[in-house]
Amino acid sequence: MNGMRIPDELVLLAEAQDGIVTRRQAGACGMSPAAIRYALGPGGHWQRLAAGIYATFTGRLTPRHRVRAALLRGGVDAMISGGHACRAYGLRYVPQEAPLVCLVRAGAQPVALVFAEFRRTSALPAPRSIDGIPVAPPARAVVDACRGRYSLRTVRALLCEAVQSGLTTHHLLVDAVGDARWAGSRLVRLALGDVHAGCRSAPECELRDLLRSSLVLDEPLWNRPLPGTGAGRLVPDAHWRGARVVVEVDSSEWHRLGDGPERTEQRRARYAALGWIVVPVSPWRLRHEPGAVLAEIEAAVRGYRCRHAG
């Protein structure tokens, strides 16, 4: 830095913190206020990330640098939650606008950051470490990501993906929501009802909404194995055992991982061989032709029952 030596202790600390340090840390390592000002000035190689938080380099700032800054501001027990944590766990259906959330102790009063939201909690969960970053457990991260005024479809997609991937469970999500009331909590509870019923994707939840509007149909079984299929069991999206009707939501985006056209054909051939009627439904038709979709499913169920009446 043009002849100005950075204390070795601060160099090591910066390396451990992705190049981010605080004013207090720099002072504790022996840098004077004048030295810090010089480092931030035209002759130095630092840049200010936020008030009292510095990047010890002049390159581009990344989301990880902002995550690190939020943790430093939040204190020793702070951890990342919400959308950033969900992405760290590998979830895909995270609201794009979900803020960077940092959980802190109930008594903490961190100075605000424009790029992060601090949430105080009286019961900090035990964090997990992902790539050196302390992250809230999956259920808490997912619930925090859903806080806000998002659409029901968005909330359903994230909750269903979290459960379908095995990252968390319905029970843990219910515990994470608790009795709290915040913007979007009603949508989360609605989506949790769908997850509890057995739905595993947002289109399946929308199909459930549609089926519940029927005056003819009872609630089907969701993602439950068909009886009598043994080791090569068949698990349709929804089915009525008393009518031998299966409904499958056809979507390359939402359906079972690895399911291509060939596997779909093979599976439906097995349904037919076992005497099951398959009604395929696309997410597009669910949203744009719900009346026609419902009529087709009702006709299939009613037709079986009429043929086998008495």
Q: What is the mean pLDDT of residues 118-131?
A: 95
Cβ-contact 110, 75 below 8 angstroms: yes
Tokens of 226: 């068909």
Check whether 1 has a pLDDT greater than 50.
Answer: no
Q: What is the mean pLDDT of residues 69-86?
A: 96
Q: How far apart are CA 102 and CA 92, in angstroms?
A: 20
Q: How far apart are CA 212 and CA 55, in angstroms?
A: 55
pLDDT in tens, 96-112: 889 999 999 999 999 99
Specify the pairing of strand 133-135 against strand 221-222.
unpaired
Check whether 305 has a pLDDT greater than 60.
Answer: yes
Across the chain, what does the average pLDDT equal?
92
Determine the pLDDT at residue 3: 52
Q: How far apart are CA 226 and CA 240, in angstroms?
A: 10
pLDDT in tens, 248-283: 998 655 454 446 678 888 989 999 999 999 999 999
What dotted CATH number matches 202-307?
Answer: 3.40.960.10
Which residue has better confidence, 44 or 194?
Answer: 194
Determine the pLDDT at residue 83: 95
Question: Would you kindly state where each structural domain of the chain is located, as residue ranges?
Answer: 8-59, 64-197, 202-307
| pLDDT band (50, 70, 90) for residue 310 | low
Which among 208, 186, 201 is positioned nearest to 290, based on CA atoms? Answer: 208
